[in-house]
Amino acid sequence: MYPLLFRTVLTRFDPEFAHHLGALVIRVAGVEPVASVLRRFTAPAPDQRVHALGLTFESPFGVAAGFDKNVTMGRGLGALGFGHVEVGTVTALPQPGNPKPRLFRLVADRAVVNRMGFNNEGAAVAAARLRRLRRARRRPVVGVNIGKSRVVAVDDATTDYVRSARLLAPLADYLVVNVSSPNTPGLRGLQAVETLRPLLTAVKDAAGGTPLLVKIAPDLADDEVQQISRLAVDTGLAGLIATNTTIERAGLRTPAATVEAAGAGGLSGAPLKQRSLDVLRLVRAAVPAEFVVISAGGVETADDVRERVDAGATLVQGYTGFLYRGPLWARQINRGLARGR
């Protein structure tokens, strides 16, 4: 049913508007008794649980940052079968993001281009919602992804990240430093090791006992991936997320004119699959076995999740697949993983 709905109805809507419509449905899914009914059909099998970061994840598959920017869908996404939800990216200061339109479907490639620009209501609002979410009787593991406020100069980025970390880390199951979005000017430059080390050290101190991870770009050179991986271990981080969206456009099936019309931004979805898998293998080879590695990028099926786990991923995340698979996506993956045992 959903593929037909997508082709005949949803593709007629602006992608960002369609996302907001979907968010309304997901929020309803998190309200009792709807949530309890849904869990009977979507809950992962008990043996799919993953123990990592001092936490228990009901499924290895969760929602990547960017889907629930403002901490409004956590209970609903948990009821739909996701083992964890990474909210954000949250910035210390509220910001509207980039001008619209800023989200574009590349249907032929099962991909999306976005240049959202960390649109969010800010860390204070996120903190208030996280407090309420933590009181919920049933909820998934909730990670919080933090980024640099756009109006803050790159030279002052550490102070900005620390401000968010102090407010949000006590309310997060884990915290992620996002230095890899292509949609905030100067942000990816923070991935340089000499810049990243003091940033991660400061945020780790501010995060206290909350597990801290860093999220990297797929567009880094292989040696840069390995350097950052070793840095994450050296600075005492709990893990690393590989990868964010890409600025590459090579090999797309979508007509070049359509891709050009979409313009700048991060590409996610199926075209990112191979590079994300390659980066996962590079990271896993550079870090100890107990170091947590979360793989994201081009994940759509249970076979994709299984491939990432076999390549060394502790956990796996998806986002763009929700657009093409619909609200029962996590259930499909959980059932597929169960059949593959």
Structure tokens at 95: 């910001």
The residues near 237 (Cβ < 8 Å, ≥ 6 apart) are: 200, 204, 212, 213, 214
Marked catalytic residue, from 59, 149, 180, 181: 181
State the virtual CA torsion across 199, 205, 207, 211 in degrees, nearest 10.
90
Whole-number Å distance between alpha carbons of 21 and 182: 26
180 as an active site residue: the answer is no
CA angle 227, 230, 231 (to 5 degrees): 85
Structure tokens at 104: 């574009």
Whole-number Å distance between alpha carbons of 310 and 198: 33
Give the CA distances from residue 63 to residues 66, 82, 85, 95, 321, in Å, rounded to whole numbers and listed in that order: 9, 7, 5, 22, 10
Catalytic residues: 181
